[in-house]
Structure 1
């Protein structure tokens, strides 16, 4: 379970709102990224209690990450772990999703040498032993705000009746611009017109990623973990999006795979929308 308010325990528990410890900081910070199939939870935490940090480092206690959406997901963490990957079929993130970090005892832990306790508990710490599997501490609660970037912020649409082709994809300074010679080419007269434009989105991403490779690589292979942040506004947006979606490598051979990872299954959704249009005879 997730503790949102002060909870009463018959022994000292480390938390930001508890007075059991003289220095009671247990602060959690979480960021969420995604690709087509997985959510990635990246977290860091800060604990003031040296006693508690020692229990974790020597294996007498463990960290447990709890993600609460429609139900609770528990992840037992190793000492150095700072991320968790969860398939999208296992969780649905909403603005009600909450995340908290717990510390659990893996052995009976005597508090006789716990110098971090408040004055009240220091008086009888020799008598205190927290049993195995009991809670030792809990962090603040992180509430997910739903803010995972969408790739379509990269695009803008323009109507140009003087085009020499029906559609033209142009790479602007900050966006990928899709020019349409006629308004009906945008499918505005059909349901799910935005999704039906995904075929143009795909073409735009392909052209933009090809330019990204040319601008940021001498040999055709871009290592996203090694290159500096691009100077161009559009390249910087693509760079941040790929990093957000956990893409590490880009080249001419894996462009389609990268588009799949960064674009939330645009071809799958395009096919589904097209099928609905055909089914309903629009």
Structure 2
């Protein structure tokens, strides 16, 4: 099953909204490619807990890819596996397909050495024992809407050595495209490279939301999301759905940064933590 909101378990879970861990990131990204015979899911994820990461490396825990479409499918991943290829004869993808990563215990797990839990558990974490085949955490949800070639993800990255600037933000028909003049600007050789790109993502969201106001504000510097028609432009539709999901009723020139904070899941905090993590590891 797909976990769409927090659930109660008798032990701490690692999720993006968990308060049980000091750092509770389980970030999941997936790209879908396909040919005439199969679907190819390219998987990327970040787990902030060193304890959970050690369990995966030691083979005491396992990642499971859950695909919910016309039917539900589960695929157990090897520790270093970054892709899953599935024959089209074995799976049917609907117009709306939902994916999530789960963490499962492969044996009985003691949390006595789990130093990533918050201080609330300090006095009794050695008493926490999780049975075999239990869920240890779950990631965010990735949704494929409409064209399977383009998930609900907002961003694309492209390399263009001919750029007249280091970075160029382009608003495409379905995504915000970040063009890089140099590959080094993507930080691909560093840990948590996705988070180190967050300032560029912030810039892209600012530009996209400003255009949203220009297009849908009818000459005003604000948009009442309760009153406008559902956008037909794919990128604006994704932004509209994100804002509605976060119960945002109005977008204005003055509140763009507040809206980004609401829809981006602590984007600059994640960037800050990544930079501080590099500082600590390099000291």
> What is the TM-score normalised by the length of structure 2?
0.52
* Residue of structure 2 equivalent to 1:88: 88
* Residue of structure 1 equivalent to 2:105: 105
Structure 1 residues not aligned, in runs of 5+? 151-227, 232-282
Q: Secondary structure at the match of 1:97?
A: strand
* Residue of structure 2 equivalent to 1:6: 6
Does the 8 Å contact 2:111/2:128 carry over to 1? yes
Cα distance in 2, alignment partners of residues 122 and 46 from structure 1: 25
* Residue of structure 1 equivalent to 2:21: 21
Moved over 4 A (4+): none
Work out the number of aligned pairs and report it: 153
Cα distance in 2, alignment partners of residues 37 and 108 from structure 1: 39
Aligned pair in 2 of structure 1 residues 98, 148: CA closer, same or farther (>3 Å)?
A: closer
Q: How does 1:129-148 map to 2 (within 5 A)?
A: 129-148=129-148
State the shift of 1:89 in Å: 2.1
Does the 8 Å contact 1:95/1:143 carry over to 2? no
* Residue of structure 2 equivalent to 1:195: none
Cα distance in 1, alignment partners of residues 149 and 126 from structure 2: 52
* Residue of structure 1 equivalent to 2:57: 57
Report which structure shows greater RCO (CA 8 Å, sep ≥6). 1
State the shift of 1:92 in Å: 2.3
CA offsets, 1:48-106, max 9 Å, x none?
00000000000000111101112211111101101111111222222321000011001
* Residue of structure 1 equivalent to 2:117: 117
Cα distance in 2, alignment partners of residues 66 and 6 from structure 1: 17
Q: Secondary structure at the match of 2:96?
A: coil
CA offsets, 1:211-257, max 9 Å, x none?
xxxxxxxxxxxxxxxxx99x9xxxxxxxxxxxxxxxxxxxxxxxxxx
Cα distance in 1, alignment partners of residues 15 and 34 from structure 2: 30
Cα distance in 2, alignment partners of residues 83 and 94 from structure 1: 20
Aligned pair in 2 of structure 1 residues 147, 122: CA closer, same or farther (>3 Å)?
A: farther
Does the 8 Å contact 1:12/1:121 carry over to 2? no
Q: How does 1:1-282 map to 2 (within 5 A)?
A: 1-148=1-148
Cα distance in 2, alignment partners of residues 145 and 36 from structure 1: 20
Cα distance in 2, alignment partners of residues 117 and 87 from structure 1: 40
Does the 8 Å contact 1:64/1:75 carry over to 2? yes
CA offsets, 1:192-224, max 9 Å, x none?
xxxxxxxxxxxxxxxxxxxxxxxxxxxxxxxxx
Structure 2 residues not aligned, in runs of 5+? 151-158, 163-283
Cα distance in 2, alignment partners of residues 127 and 148 from structure 1: 45
